[in-house]
Chains A and B, each alone.
Chain A
Amino acid sequence: MTRSHGTALFVSTMILVVIALGTAGAALVVHHDTDDLRARVKPVHREVRHLIAAEADAERRLRLLGTGARTTTEALAALFAAEQSQVDASNHAVDVANQAVDQFNNARSADLATAFQGAGDAALTDLEAKTAAVRAAADATRSALAGLQVAASG
């Protein structure tokens, strides 16, 4: 072995030591900076999660308002339909009673009026059902209105 070979080995070793120390130092600096970056990502993710929750809440409220509006509209339409049926049933029942009275007045016979018994009973039964339907529709309307107002105020 020559002396120059030994010197070259020594110098190369020193260069490698410097490279090892330099890269290790640089790597530690980069690693530290990476930790800082990761620390900055966490609050951003937290805010995203918060916004997602707020969005879900807004969607839920919007869905409730839409459902409340639709339910109220349908309930009001049902109430007026039920009311119209009740009015028709009421007028029909009075017509039956009127015809019975007219027959009685003309013939002065209770038997003629009795001939309307079936029609009268049927008309009253129908009117009772239609009146109950109006009450049910009114209750449904009030319930829908309350639900809509709660959704709007919430």
Chain B
Amino acid sequence: MVEPTRSSLVRRRVAFGVALLFALLGVAFLVWTISQHQDARDDLADARVQLANQRAVTSKDAKSVQHARTVVMTVHDQLAALDPGSGTLADLDEKDLIAVRAAVQAGLAGTLADYNTAVDQRASLDPQHDATVEQLRQQANVVITVLDGIS
């Protein structure tokens, strides 16, 4: 066997140094990638927890909306009837105003016949007026009672 020359030993030392550098870089790269992998796993776990929580909250809100809509729909008929009923009541009050105005004018003028005619006209509105108010009141009571639950 031949003893290694001085230049050969230098080359081996350089090669050792380069190999050591690459080995250290390799280890550092591995540590860094493991760290990144751990972060990614944590992100995935966090995202899954967030998804589960969000599903629970969204489901609860959707149920609340559905409940409120169902509550409103239970008084659908009353709501539909209140719409024209309130307009009818305002119309009857305007007819009442016309009759009362005629009665007051006749009363102030001292014309008894006109006064009686106006008063009779006003009285003729009473049954329809009372019935409309009563019907509206019943429907409104049902609606208000039910809507109190969601307002």
Contacts and interface: CB of A to CB of B under 8 A. Distances in A.
Contacts of A93: 100-101, 103-104
Contacts of A141: 82-83, 86
Given A26-B30, A134-B93, A44 B147 contact: no
A78 B36 CA distance: 65
Interface string A52-64: 1011001101100
A117 to B, nearest CB: 6
Contacts of A94: 100, 103-104, 119, 122
B31 to A, nearest CB: 8
Contacts of A134: 89-90, 93
Contact of B43 (A41, A100, A110): A41
Interface residues of A, number: 89
Interface in A114-131: 114, 116-117, 120, 123-124, 127-128, 131
Given A19-B26, A80-B137, A131-B93, A138 B87 contact: yes
Interface string B67-78: 011001100100
A138 B90 contact: yes
A69 B145 CA distance: 11
DSSP class of B's interface residues: helix, strand, loop or mixed? helix
B65 interface: yes
Contacts of A139: 90
B25 A148 contact: no
Given A128-B97, A134-B93, A6 B47 contact: no
Given A34-B40, A76-B143, 7 more contacts: A6-B9, A9-B16, A34-B37, A59-B61, A104-B107, A120-B104, A134-B93
Interface of B: 1, 3-4, 6, 8-9, 12-13, 15-16, 19-20, 22-23, 25-27, 29-30, 32-34, 36-37, 40-41, 43-44, 47-48, 50-51, 54-55, 57-58, 61-62, 64-65, 68-69, 72-73, 76, 79, 82-83, 86-87, 89-90, 93-94, 96-97, 100-101, 103-110, 112, 115, 119, 122, 133, 136-137, 140, 143-144, 147-148, 150-151
Interface of A: 1-3, 5-6, 9-10, 12-14, 16-17, 19-24, 26-28, 30-31, 33-34, 37-38, 40-41, 44-45, 47-48, 51-52, 54-55, 58-59, 61-62, 65-66, 68-70, 72-73, 76-77, 79-80, 83, 86, 90, 93-94, 96-101, 104-105, 110, 113-114, 116-117, 120, 123-124, 127-128, 131, 134-135, 137-139, 141-142, 145-146, 148-149, 151-152
7 smallest CB-CB distances across A and B, nearest first, come from A97-B107, A23-B26, A16-B19, A58-B61, A20-B22, A37-B40, A69-B151
15 contacts: A1-B3, A3-B3, A9-B9, A16-B16, A24-B30, A41-B47, A58-B61, A58-B64, A79-B136, A94-B103, A100-B104, A127-B100, A128-B97, A135-B90, A138-B86
